[in-house]
Structure formats: C-alpha cells, structure tokens
Amino acid sequence: MERNGEYDIIGWFDEVAETADSVQTQTLSQILRLNYGVEYLKKWFRDINIQEMEENALESLFTSLVPLASHADLEHYIQRIADGDDAPLLTQEAITNLSLSSGTTEGRQKFVPFTRHSSKTTLQIFKLAAAYRSRIYPIREGGRILELIYSSKQFKTKGGLTVGTATTHYYASEEFKIKQEQTKSFTCSPEAVISSGDYNQSTYCHLLLGLHFRDEVEFITSTFAYSIVQAFRSFEELWREICDDIREGSLSSRITITKVRNAVLDIISPNPCLASRIASTCEELEEKDWFCMIPKLWPNAKYVYSIMTGSMQPYLRKLRHYAGNLPLVSADYGSTESWIGVNVDPSSPPEKVTFAVMPNFSYFEFIPLHRQSQQNSNSNTDDFIEEDPVPLSQVKLGQEYEIVLTTFTGLYRYRLGDVVEVAGFHKKIPKLNFICRRKLILTVNIDKNTEKDLQLVVERGSQALSKSKAELVDFTSHADAAKQPGHYVIYWEINGEVEERVLRECCREMDASFVDHGYVVSRRTNSIGPLELCIVEKGTFKKILEHFIRNGAALSQFKIPRCTSNQVLLKILDASTIKRFRSTAYGQEL
C-alpha cells in the first residue's frame, strides 16, 4: 500500500486488467440489462428475454443480432430525444444533457447523449491518470494547478435538454466539484473564470492567477495542447498588462464580465515585488524568443499535461519551445462518445504514447484493418480492407483496428472512426497507439490521404523555415475540384520573414512528399494539378478560432480542421492570403 492510499486506484486497475475479458462481458451485460426494452434494441431482440440469459450467451447474441452503426443510424433517435420524446429510445435512464462533438471531423457538430455515467467515468479516469503521473512526477500536497480550461455556452433544445460540450457538462457536474475538493492540488482559477463564456477574458485571468500563485503551481494543463500554445502566444503580448495588475492588485479593463472581475479581485492583492520579478524574467525571455517560458515563470512546475496526439501533434514543437526540458505528458484517450484508454506510462514522449483500454467504461470491439495495395486500390472511400469485429480479448499485437463502442449512454456497436494499433499489453488489456481518423480528408481523384499523411507532408515541407528563423504557426488544407484538374491547396500562417525562394521550395517539397500511389500517379498524368501553397496573414487562424467559438465551440474542445470545405472558413482563408505559390515538383512549369 502506497503512502496515504495514493495508489489504491492503481491496484484496482491492475485487478481489472488481470480479468479484462470477464470485465468486458460483465460490462456489456450491465449495459443491456439496464437498457432492456428500449426502442432501438427492440428492433433486434424483438421478444427475446435477455434478463435471464447467461452473460457469455448474451454477448454472443448481441454481436450476432445487432448491426454495426454509424452516427447517422442513431441520429433519428437522438433528435427525438432532443425534441422532448421521453420514451425509452436508447436508454432507460432519462437523458437530460446532450454533448456537442467538436465538428472538425465531419464538418458539423453532432449531438451525443451525456448522462451521469459520463461524469463518473471522467472523474475515475482523472484519478487513475493522476496516480500514474504521481509515481513519476510527485507533486506537493496543497499545491496548485494552472488549468487553462473553459466552459462553453449551453443552450436548450426544443424538448428542454441542455446542450453543450462534454467538458462543459463535466465542469458543471457534481463530479467536478468532488475532484476540486478532494484533489491534492487546487486549480488557480475560480469557477467564474472557467465558465465566463469569453475565452479571451478567461485566458487573461488564468494567466494572471497562475502568476499570482506562481510558486505554488505544480503543473500546467489544458484539454488540448492547442489551448496551451494559444494561451502562451497571447501571454507574449499581454505580459506587461498582467504585471501591472499584479503590481497594483487591479484588473485590466479588458475584463468586463462582473462576476469574473469580482472573483479575481477577491483573490489578488498588490504585490510589487512579484510583478518586478516576473517583468524582469519576461524581458529576458523576450530576447530569447520565449524559450523555456514555462519553467522560468513557474519554477516549481513538474510537467505540462494535455492531449498531444492526433491533430495536436503539430503543436508539440512550439510547446517544447515554451517548456524547455520540462516533461510533456500526454493526457488520456477519449472521445465525446466515451473515454477509451488511460496513459499508464506518463514518461513516454507524446509521439510514442499508448493508452491502456478501460474495460469497465464501455464494451469494446475492434474491426481488423488491412491496408490495401495502393496500386490495386481505386476506391474513393479509404485505404483499408476490413474483417469482422473481434472482442478485446482477441486483438493482436501490431494489428491495426477501428474501434467500435457500446456505451452506457445508448450507443450500440457504434463505429468511432478511429484507427489504432495494438502496441502492447498492460496485463490482459491492450495498449493502443492512435494512428489516425479513418475518414479521408484529401481526395480529388483516386488519391487517398488522411490527416496523418497531411501532417507528415507539412512537417517535411516546413523544415526549410528553420533556416530563416521562422516558424509555422498553423495550417489547414482544401481539396479544390472547382476546376479541372483538381488540386490540393495548403494554407500556412508563418511567424517571421521568409524569402519567396524558400517558400517555393517548401511548396515543391510538400507536393513531392505525398507517398500515396494514387496521388503520385495522378500528378504524373496531370489528373491532379500542382499543389498550391497559400501564405495567410498573421492572426488568420485566430479568426478561424473566433468563428468556431461564435458558433458554439469551446476553446477546451477546439481543433483546427486540417481539411475544410466550409465556405465561410475558405472565405476567411482566401481573404487573408497574401502570397500564393504553385509547385513544379513534377516538372510542370506554370
């Protein structure tokens, strides 16, 4: 037994991991018995009485009768719930909240049922992950956390259900209050700052209060790496104003929300010495392009903690610049639909992190995927041949799978669309490496490129920027088929001055870096045109963020869409474009 019972939860998880097979069978049995008789399941079970069935037989019956489903298959039921239909459609438990997905994958936000179970599993995985982190990075009792977290605005559906992001529901839940009361460390910001509804005002106050408690801060966290980078980019511009507030015990006039002003002013008081120390540090950091900002400003911080996989990987370079030698710890693997896995190896770098599946949170199935021979593939769907789903107990090391979920919140054999690889095992639980979203994001002809393909291409293309002491701030793309031949357009925002010669080389390098056979063949035959690189003016991606926020997204959930056909966003991007380059990688002079 560890000190203060800190790691009791790890002992519990090890027991679960030893019996993962039976835990999964029990979890499915619980879900089905709790929701027996709901309209969706009646279609498949008809008059079968499952209440008296043995768990193994029920598992076999369920996977043989109930088909795989997409969100579109359940959308009708969820909309009826949103409109006020209180019949048991998906769950016997009344659904009172609906979560909004980020909308960056499918191009539109989706409703996903959210119940008390969602908050309970969030609290449980947070406790478990904290215990694993504490083994390697112990933190002080009574310290503080600089949490750059944000609630979004909620609204009511026609039927009176509360709609918001999953994080917003969690921050409003009893479980979050329990976490705040029971945790060893305390958030720097009060609830009024977290729930202000204005991410600019919340960010300013998070930074101000984080510096007010600077010597007590044990680690820095946000849901996504993007939010941390965005906050510290803002700090580069705001630090003098923040120092003035610390010196005077005042609050900038940019904070206009009364409850936020009152909450912050109740905490801070004049501290000229602290303000002078911070100002002196910032002047030194400014000369070094803010390298090691985090450990310099928060000298007792042990690590930075956030989701850093998938679409967050492009922000790692900037985050490492701010963090210096401070460890970057990847947060756990989840989706709006369910938590999936916990990071049991916090010392692993984000690029190599794996996640041990939580077998009691949902019932998991895995569709084995095999990559098609690119020469023989002419489908415009994706690059995989799939087999029948297998249970958690039958996954194999090194095999790629698509995840299928059956949840306590009314999703049955739901295809998540995430492609993962089994990278190892924690006892009898698979440890998953996130590979990509299955959905293609760039395709014009017979070409097939995922988000990960695009990230690798952009990484290669942007390497030349470092020679100019410039950096890539952010990027997105568009498959432009308005004119024939269609072509890829990649938008970059750059910080720093770069010669046009270098940008032309970046454009050519990206075009030549796509390894998809369909793209290469199409470029050589001119059935896909030369890649176009558009350089947008500084602040363009912040405009995109603000567009999403105005339309109901939360900063804590925001992800830049890596490919977009959204006409509003394309209008922002095209209006902000200041330079355009076309590739000659395939010898096609323009």
CB 149 within 8 A of CB 194: yes
d(CA 337, CA 332): 14
d(CA 179, CA 29): 29
Amino acid at 6: E
* Three-state secondary-structure class, residue 444: coil
94 Cβ contact list (under 8 Å, min separation 6): 86
d(CA 193, CA 86): 35
pLDDT tens profile 83-107: 888 888 888 888 878 777 655 444 4
**Is the omega angle on the peptide bond into residue 485 within 30 degrees of 0, that is, cis?**
yes
Q: Which of 44-58, 332-346, 350-364, 495-509 has the lowest mean pLDDT?
A: 44-58
d(CA 381, CA 154): 35
Residue showing tokens 């405009």: 543
Task: Say whether pLDDT at 333 is over 60.
Answer: yes
Give φ, ψ of 316 to 5 degrees.
Answer: -65, -40
Report domain extents, the chain.
3-114+335-437, 138-326, 451-582
CB 97 within 8 A of CB 163: yes
pLDDT at 105: 44
* Three-state secondary-structure class, residue 49: coil
Q: Which residues of 554-584 are buried (b: 16+ CB within 10 A; e: fewer)?
A: bbbbbbbbbbbebeebbebbeebbeeebbbb
CB 395 within 8 A of CB 379: no
CA of 536: how far to CAs of 327, 473, 490, 539, 565, in Å? 32, 11, 10, 8, 17
pLDDT tens profile 367-412: 999 876 544 444 444 567 888 999 999 999 999 999 999 998 889 9
CA dihedral 52, 55, 60, 61 (to 10 degrees): 20
* Three-state secondary-structure class, residue 39: helix
H-assigned helices in 479-559? 500-513, 517-524, 540-550
Task: Say whether pLDDT at 214 is over 70.
Answer: yes
Read off the tokens for 167.
Answer: 């994080």
Q: Is the four-CA dihedral 349, 354, 356, 362 of positive or negative sign? A: positive
pLDDT at 50: 76
CA of 519: how far to CAs of 49, 186, 369, 457, in Å? 53, 51, 22, 13
Amino acid at 495: N
CA of 448: how far to CAs of 259, 375, 421, 431, 584, in Å? 50, 12, 20, 27, 21
**Closest CA relative to residue 43, chosen from 460, 293, 412:** 412
Q: DSSP string spanning 461-491?
A: HHGGGGGGT-EEEEEEEEEE-SSSSPEEEEE
Task: Say whether pLDDT at 6 is over 80.
Answer: no
Question: Looking at residues 234-261, what average pLDDT do you find?
Answer: 94
CA of 441: how far to CAs of 107, 189, 451, 562, in Å? 11, 38, 6, 8
CB 387 within 8 A of CB 401: no
* Three-state secondary-structure class, residue 534: strand
Q: How many CB atoms lie within 10 A of CB 239?
A: 22
CA of 376: how far to CAs of 232, 387, 443, 514, in Å? 47, 18, 17, 18
Q: Which of 263-272, 435-444, 451-460 has the lowest mean pLDDT?
A: 435-444
pTM: 0.79
CB 74 within 8 A of CB 90: yes
Question: Looking at residues 300-310, what average pLDDT do you find?
Answer: 91
pLDDT at 217: 94
Task: Say whether pLDDT at 108 is over 70.
Answer: no
pLDDT at 535: 92
Read off the tokens for 504.
Answer: 């032309």
